[in-house]
A and B are shown apart, each in its own frame.
Chain A
Amino acid sequence: MLHTVNKSPFERNTLETCLQHAKDGSTILLIEDGVYAATEGTRFSDTIKKAMETKTVCALLPDLKARGMHEKVIEGIKLVDYAGFVDLVEQNERVQAWL
């Protein structure tokens, strides 16, 4: 299952809610302001690293670049473009947007 998170964890708790519900083996895609969670050195970095032990974490590269954050990404996060976003939707039978 694919979960999308589009808000910064500093603004909303949707990332934490998502991680509480997402099952092991699922994929989390960070988009829009959600990409701030993918950056190294924040108080959410460990949350993401822990999630990566059991889940796949991806982030939308164009949104990271738009925010100047593409060189601060936590190692191991898979970066995708819009075509890659489409592929993730195709690969997962269900898509849940945590709005």
Chain B
Amino acid sequence: MKLGIQINEGPYQHQASDTAYLFTKAALEKGHEIFRVFFYHDGVNNGTRLTTPPQDDRNIVARWSELAEKYNLDLVICVAAAQRRGIVDPDEKKRHGKDADNIAPGFRISGLGQLIEAGIQCDRLVVFGD
């Protein structure tokens, strides 16, 4: 089955990002296809590589990057939500004249069309949030 995942909540906020990760991992382990994971609203904060949780805590961002590498996932961050919250990739850095970028490995910044496409292409769109 082809699944789309939408995440509206940041990491370490409540539990939505953890639930989304564990659901996605369970779906992949069952052999389902994850067409795309779309990070929207505060969910874009899941995509900064500068996060540094204590060593005995889970690293939510790195966990997504590792899962993306293992299963070749498409992790998409909403561009308008990212601009507001300071999530920047090299292109956005150049475009807005910023002094740094912070996007984590495996993530890319794109538009809402990617969410709509996931809604059309997938058998199910599962939403996690606040």
Q: List residues of chain A with CB under 8 Å of any chain B CB.
A: 6, 31-33, 62-63, 81-83, 85-87, 89-90, 94-95, 97, 99
A81 to B32, CA, bound (A): 16
Assuming the contacts A95-B125, A95-B126, asked whether A86 and B19 have C-beta atoms less than 8 A apart, the reply is no
Question: Is B126 within 8 A of A31, CB to CB?
Answer: no
Asked if B120 is an interface residue, CB under 8 A from chain A, the answer is no
Closest approach, in angstroms, between the C-beta of A21 and any C-beta of chain B?
Answer: 16
Assuming the contacts A86-B30, A89-B124, A89-B126, asked whether A32 and B15 have C-beta atoms less than 8 A apart, the reply is yes
Asked if B27 is an interface residue, CB under 8 A from chain A, the answer is yes
A78 to B22, CA, bound (A): 19
Asked if B8 is an interface residue, CB under 8 A from chain A, the answer is yes
Assuming the contacts A97-B126, A97-B129, asked whether A6 and B16 have C-beta atoms less than 8 A apart, the reply is yes
Closest approach, in angstroms, between the C-beta of B7 and any C-beta of chain A?
Answer: 11
Interface size, chain B (Cβ < 8 Å): 22
A90 to B23, CA, bound (A): 12
A63 to B13, CA, bound (A): 16
Nearest opposing residue in chain B for A31, CB measure: B19
Chain B 78-130 residues near chain A, CB threshold 8 A: 124-130
Question: Is B23 within 8 A of A99, CB to CB?
Answer: no
- Provide the residues of chain A in CB contact with B19, threshold 8 Å: 6, 31-32
- Provide the residues of chain A in CB contact with B49, threshold 8 Å: none
Please provide the 8 A-B residue pairs with the shortest distance between their CB atoms, ordered closest to farther.
A82-B26, A97-B127, A32-B15, A99-B129, A86-B27, A82-B22, A83-B26, A86-B26
Nearest opposing residue in chain A for B128, CB measure: A97
- Provide the residues of chain B in CB contact with A33, threshold 8 Å: 14-15
A94 to B3, CA, bound (A): 12
A85 to B32, CA, bound (A): 13
Nearest opposing residue in chain B for A32, CB measure: B15
